[in-house]
Amino acid sequence: MKIAPSVLTADFSHLSTELETIANADLLHLDIMDGHFVPNISFGPAITKSIHDQTHLPLDIHLMVSDPLQWVPKFAFEQTKYLTIHVEANHVSETIQAIRKEHIGVGISLKPKTPLRAIIPYINEVSLVLVMTVEPGFGGQSFMIEMMEKVKELVELRKREGLHFLIEIDGGVNEETIQIAKSSGVDIAVVGSYLFNQEDRHQMIEALKCV
Ligand code: DX5
Ligand code: ZN
């Protein structure tokens, strides 16, 4: 399993030390919230740039914003590997084209209540599908096991259509739920509070990678 720590629950007063403790991860997951698409505000391009400059990890940027189009160029950093937008956001097609123009991998995400069919019109254009396993907005919520149905359907669809997108999950991942995710076919797991509450994060990342 590839591991993408979410810095949302990191201690931002010691950010560079926090980033060092997770340097063996595969990607760094950054949650951008606008206070409109979700009932919370996190951080924007300036703090993201500062994080970018303090890590060698590729960035996996999760835009939980209503109008992602205007933000695409502002999050197009050298290390931005995936820019993920929500299918429930405005101007999805235009935003996908804008991300592709920046030569960044397109990610599409869906909230727990959104049916999988909502992302089908975009499936040929994405490198990543991010299945939310909690309601977006906050770290520390419980994993919604029912979302594994979406993961299994995506695995089938990918095979049937000969596609290559990766399947990522976000929310409530711990040592137990990651096993369920693995057996359902997930490629990348975002891990927030569970990882940042560990004494030895480096070792935990190694253990989670082996799942
Ligand atoms: C939730 C965010 C997640 C969150 C995950 O809206 O998208 O990335 O940080 O945190 P945990 O792992 O604590 O559920
Ligand atoms: Zn996220």
- Token readout for 24 is 């063996």
CB-based burial of residue 31 (10 Å sphere; 0-12 exposed, 13-18 middle, 19+ buried)?
Answer: buried
Number of domains composing the chain: 1
Contact 124, 163 (CB under 8 A): yes
Range of the domain at 73: 2-209
What pTM did the predictor assign?
Answer: 0.98
Query: pLDDT digits over 29-54, tens only?
Result: 999 999 999 999 999 999 999 999 99
- Which ligand has the minimum distance to the alpha carbon of residue 61? 2
Catalytically active residues are 31, 170
d(CA 160, CA 137) in angstroms, rounded, equals 33
For the CA of 173, the nearest atom of ligand 1: 12
- CATH for 130: 3.20.20.70
* Residue 39 CA, ligand 1 centroid: distance in Å: 14
* Residue 164 CA, ligand 1 centroid: distance in Å: 25
What are the pocket residues of ligand 1 if the criterion is a CB atom closer than 6 Å to any ligand atom?
6, 8-9, 29, 31, 62, 134, 136-141, 170-173, 190-194
For the CA of 33, the nearest atom of ligand 1: 6
- Which ligand has the minimum distance to the alpha carbon of residue 111? 1
* Banded pLDDT at 160 (limits 50, 70, 90): very high
Query: pLDDT digits over 179-201, tens only?
Result: 999 999 999 999 999 999 999 99
d(CA 22, CA 80) in angstroms, rounded, equals 17
